Amino acid sequence: MPEYRRGYLSDFFDGFAVKRLTAVEVDPTRSNQHEFQGVQRLKEILGTPPDKVTFRSRFLWLDDDGDRTSADGFLTWSDVRRNNPGRSAEYHLYYSAESASVVHRASPGDMLLVCRQKNGDLLTVLTQAGGTIERQLSWLFDFSIDEDARPLVRKLEPSGGREVGFAARFILDELEIEAGQTDESFLDLLLENFGDTFPSTKVFSEFARNSLIDISPHDAPDEALLAWMDHEEKLFRTLERYIVGKRLEIGFYDSSGPDVDGFIKYSLRVQNRRKARAGQALENHLETIFQAHDVRYSRGAKTEGNKKPDFIFPGAEEYHSPEVSPELLTILGAKSSCKDRWRQVLTEAARVETKHLLTLEPGISENQTAEMQESGLQLVIPKRLQDSYSPSQQDWLLDLGNFIELVQEKQRMTRDDS
């Protein structure tokens, strides 16, 4: 069996700097200099060139409402005293006019993150203070941002930074970084089992579990879930790279020449397949874990109005029986990423007052989790991802092991009542 391999944040970035923005940096009525201030420490990742250096950069504004603005531009790094040899160097960082529409989305106190990518380009990210995006980035890059304008700067050593698993890839995707890793050591095994076609998600999930040894869903359900999700994603990207690569070699042509519409349709199918498989894989692996713990459940059964919760405990029969107390029923939604889709879970089972939602999304903001609590939703977060949440949030969160204990206890009470 091939070896299971992990990636690291240093596979994508050489280093990064993060700081709070000031009014003079983002408010065009205060300054037209197009300059980020207090950046002397960026010498650690941008160097000390004798002459002006221009870095290509992608600029991104991201906020918790799903609003994103992007632009391609550049950052200029230079010693403004280079013509005064008697004075010590003083480096300034200017952003290009093309990026002003992105930078001016920010307000004083918002966060600026400048990342140096492996190809030498920069990625410049701005996001609102205290939001989910900021918390996710602070978890991914492992920083605690100062409340003043001074930047924190860090170089990433080889095989350094956070391990890039499923949750980290979710954030990198938001940053427009293609982080889907492959493992060519599994390709022969994949082709031997599936050829050059995609199997059903259920079959592929089972293959992923069987090809990852030393994982115990009974002893460590949280770790098993994350390991299986990460491994299946890597195997899927490996097979996808092979299958899509063969299709691209053929090209997209029709009788009139290049088939642009055909290419776009194929690209959309690739993207939609990725999105659909992630959610289905999460349910598949959860189902296997519940079976390992002898937990009774129904998957995808109907409740009122043809709603279909992902899981009903102890089952659909009990849910529809007026003789079973609602307190003995549990509803679990499973979403690889949460965003605003958590509200959907609230409508899926009228008999159950408090719904549960398991997600692999790290670092959801305190404002949003407070809204979830007020709406009667309990988050279930795998144990290893809970450090992306604040201490007060962690006191409220359940991990998968906690959730299994909860439904097992209700299952015992249901049997005692019957």
Q: Please report the DSSP string for 271-331 in residue order.
A: HHHHHHHHHHHHHHHHHHHHHHTT---EES---GGG---SEEES-HHHHT-TTS-GGG-EE
Q: Is the pLDDT of residue 53 over 90?
A: yes
Task: Give residue 350's identity as a one-letter amino acid code.
Answer: A
DSSP alpha helix (H) spans, 329-383: 342-346, 366-374
Q: Is 158 contained in some domain?
A: yes
Last residue of a domain, which of 276, 292, 308? Answer: 292
Q: Is 394 contained in some domain?
A: yes
Q: Is the pLDDT of residue 268 over 90?
A: yes
**What's the average model confidence in pLDDT over 360-381?**
95
Q: How many domains does the chain have?
A: 3
Instruction: Tell me the two tokens of residue 19.
Output: 């700081």
Specify whether 366 is located in the same domain as 406.
yes
pLDDT digits (tens, 9 = 90+) for 249-262: 999 988 888 989 99
pTM of the predicted model, to two decimals? Answer: 0.88
pLDDT of residue 159: 86
Specify whether 303 is located in the same domain as 335.
yes
Last residue of a domain, which of 248, 269, 292? Answer: 292
Q: What percent of the chain has pLDDT over 70?
A: 97
Q: Is 28 contained in some domain?
A: yes
CA-CA-CA-CA torsion sign (357, 358, 360, 366): positive
Specify whether 223 is located in the same domain as 305.
no
pLDDT tier at 150, thresholds 50, 70, 90: confident
pLDDT tier at 45, thresholds 50, 70, 90: very high
pLDDT of residue 5: 53
pLDDT tier at 343, thresholds 50, 70, 90: very high
Q: Is the pLDDT of residue 6 over 70?
A: no
Specify whether 279 is located in the same domain as 305.
no
Q: Is the pLDDT of residue 198 over 90?
A: yes
From the list 91, 95, 297, 319, the catalytic residue is 319
* Beta strand spans in 159-209 (E): 163-164
Specify whether 148 is located in the same domain as 198.
no
Specify whether 304 is located in the same domain as 277.
no
pLDDT tier at 83, thresholds 50, 70, 90: confident
Q: Is the pLDDT of residue 319 over 80?
A: yes
CATH number, domain with residue 332: 3.40.91.80
Q: Is the pLDDT of residue 275 over 90?
A: no
Q: Is the pLDDT of residue 209 over 90?
A: yes
Specify whether 57 is located in the same domain as 125.
yes
Specify whether 269 is located in the same domain as 380.
no
Which helix (H) or strand (E) element contains residue 173? helix 166-174
Q: Is 172 contained in some domain?
A: no
pLDDT of residue 149: 65
Specify whether 213 is located in the same domain as 353.
no
Q: Is 58 contained in some domain?
A: yes
Of 269, 289, 248, give the one whose Cα is nearest residue 401: 289
- Gap between the Cα atoms of 103 and 113, Å rounded: 12
Chain-wide mean pLDDT for the chain? 91
Q: What percent of the chain has pLDDT over 90?
A: 72
Specify whether 16 is located in the same domain as 153.
yes
Q: Is 106 contained in some domain?
A: yes
Specify whether 47 is located in the same domain as 146.
yes
pLDDT of residue 29: 76
Q: Is 8 a catalytic residue?
A: no
CATH number, domain with residue 152: 2.40.330
Domain range for 313: 298-417
Specify the range with the lowest mean pLDDT, choosing from 58-67, 296-305, 314-323. Answer: 58-67
Q: Is the pLDDT of residue 186 over 80?
A: yes
Specify whether 53 is located in the same domain as 138.
yes
Last residue of a domain, which of 292, 317, 332? Answer: 292
Q: Is 52 contained in some domain?
A: yes
pLDDT tier at 2, thresholds 50, 70, 90: low
Q: Is 174 contained in some domain?
A: no
